[in-house]
Amino acid sequence: KAGVTQTPRYLIKTRGQQVTLSCSPISGHRSVSWYQQTPGQGLQFLFEYFSETQRNKGNFPGRFSGRQFSNSRSEMNVSTLELGDSALYLCASSLVLTGGAEQYFGPGTRLTVT
């Protein structure tokens, strides 16, 4: 079974631009979560989707948004990019949305903002 896939793998953007990242979960998984990983802040939860609805949101500004499609694929968008948005963005998928569901991560999208 294929794992979680994320596209693109690398991205370079300029301050003020916006970016859209894509995630395809493991086949049959219906829950998708997004995390930001930086050397300074570590791994931080962004948001979580299940059945096309955002179920949980982390402590990030409104410039960070996401959505999930009927096939469980998810996208996240960051508008008005700032230098501090440079990070590895990780997507994780789970079979269900219950506390304690195993989550499997994709390889991430490395975003560099210049």
Positions in the binding site for another protein (CB under 8 A): 4, 31, 33, 35, 42-45, 48, 50, 55-56, 58, 90, 92, 94, 97-108
Closest contact distance (angstroms) between CB of 16 and another protein is: 28
| Nearer of residues 14 and 28 to another protein, judged by Cβ | 28
| Nearer of residues 55 and 63 to another protein, judged by Cβ | 55
Distances 104 to 17, 63, 108 between C-alpha atoms, Å: 30, 26, 12
Distances 2 to 10, 13, 28, 110 between C-alpha atoms, Å: 20, 29, 11, 21
Closest contact distance (angstroms) between CB of 70 and another protein is: 20
CA nearest neighbour of 22 among 6, 45, 4: 6
